[in-house]
Structure 1
Amino acid sequence: MSCEPRTTDGDPWAEGGCHCGAIRFAVCLPAEPIEVIDCNCSICTRKGILHLIVEPSDFRALSGDDIKACYRFGSKTAEHWFCPTCGIHPYYRPRSHPSKIDVNVRALDAFHDTKWRLKAFDGQNWQDNIDGLRCDLLAAKAVVPCSESGDGNAPTG
């Protein structure tokens, strides 16, 4: 992911959180339009999540990390974190990329002010399609993430 400045002050970091504000996070965003994954699997459809998978170094839990609840199913690999008060799923650890963080871009404060490009993923047939998604994300990593760009302005919690 390329974390070029995306705001007028040159800050590539965007903040978001759950509905009640108990869980807050910041994520380094690439230049717009930002490609996000629209998965049609049962849980993503029900949550209404649009995915942005990032390196842990491009993510900061600002508050609520100690109160978030976790839901696991199937292989029990993915950790679907959510707020126990309002029920919103702001981010989670995905089965497809267990060493990364998957941000629900709909939980970003600037969701409506950001240009997104949707990429459909057939999660109903996850096993048949996951290798293609992994290859796409690996190819996208050819650009420099915030953690390697020298940006020292990451929000801290």
Structure 2
Amino acid sequence: MNKDISEIDGSCHCGGVRFHVRLADGLHSARRCDCSYCRMRGAVVVSARLEDFQITAGAELLTLYEFHTRTAKHYFCSRCGIYTHHQRRSDPQLYGINAACLEGVSPFDFAEVPVNDGTVHPSDHPDRKGDGVIGVLRFVPKA
């Protein structure tokens, strides 16, 4: 896997929603979150600026889910149910893109993925110290 990619296409499972994204930091921004929603969703996400993400087909199929403060905007395909991206609560100028929706990328391609503390969200605790990483998720293939 080339973590230094700068542009890539993606889609939901059924292919109805398609997008193109420029990744300023390639796949190096991969992470997970432990908030109540992300724990259940389980996706590995990478970051992109709002202006660097473009829906190329199927915008009408996207469904929006919001909860708690309604700052984060979670989008998924209304046909196949796959989460494609979300506007981040911690930085609303960024999207979190589901890495599994990117062409040729699997969440199992990442040996380690940092896990951010979304339970004690930085927007709720601006005085919190550190980078917000509470652990690392590892994938170790069977030999």
With normalisation by structure 1, the TM-score equals 0.67
The answer to whether residue 93 in structure 2 is matched with residue 122 in structure 1 is no
1:103 to 88, 97, 113: 97
Q: 1:120 to 1:96 in 2, by over 3 A?
A: same
Question: How far did residue 106 of structure 1 move?
Answer: 1.6
* Structure-to-structure mapping, 1:26-45, within 5 angstroms: 26-29=20-23, 34-45=28-39
CA distance in 2 between counterparts of 1:75 and 1:88 reads 23
- How far off is 1:99 after superposition? 2.2
Structure 2 residue identity aligned to 1:75: T
Shift, 1:80, TM fit? 0.8
**Cα-Cα RMSD:** 2.9
Q: Is the aligned partner of 1:65 residue 2:56?
A: no
* Structure 2 residue 46 is matched with structure 1 residue 52: yes
**Cα distance in 2 for residues equivalent to 1:83 and 1:42:** 21
Q: What letter matches 2:97 in structure 1?
A: V
Superposition deviation, residue 24 in structure 1: 0.8
Structure 1 range deviating more: 59-68 or 111-120: 111-120
Aligned-pair distance for 1:59? Answer: 1.6
Q: Which amino acid aligns with 2:116?
A: F
Match of 1:89 among 83, 94, 119: 83
Number of equivalences:
126
Q: Indicate the percent of aligned positions where both proteins have the same amino acid.
A: 28
Which one has the bigger strand percentage?
2
Q: Is this contact kept in 1: 2:71–2:92, CA < 8 A?
A: yes
Q: Which runs of 5+ in 1 are unaligned?
A: 7-11, 135-157
CA drift of 1:130 comes to 9.3
Measure the CA separation in 2 of the matches of 1:107 and 1:94: 17
Greater relative contact order, per chain length (Cα 8 Å cut-off, separation 6+): 1
Greater share of residues in helix: 1
List gaps (5 residues or longer) in structure 2.
Answer: 133-143
Instruction: Please state how far the C-alpha of 1:115 moved relative to its aligned partner.
Output: 5.6
* Residue of structure 2 equivalent to 1:22: 16
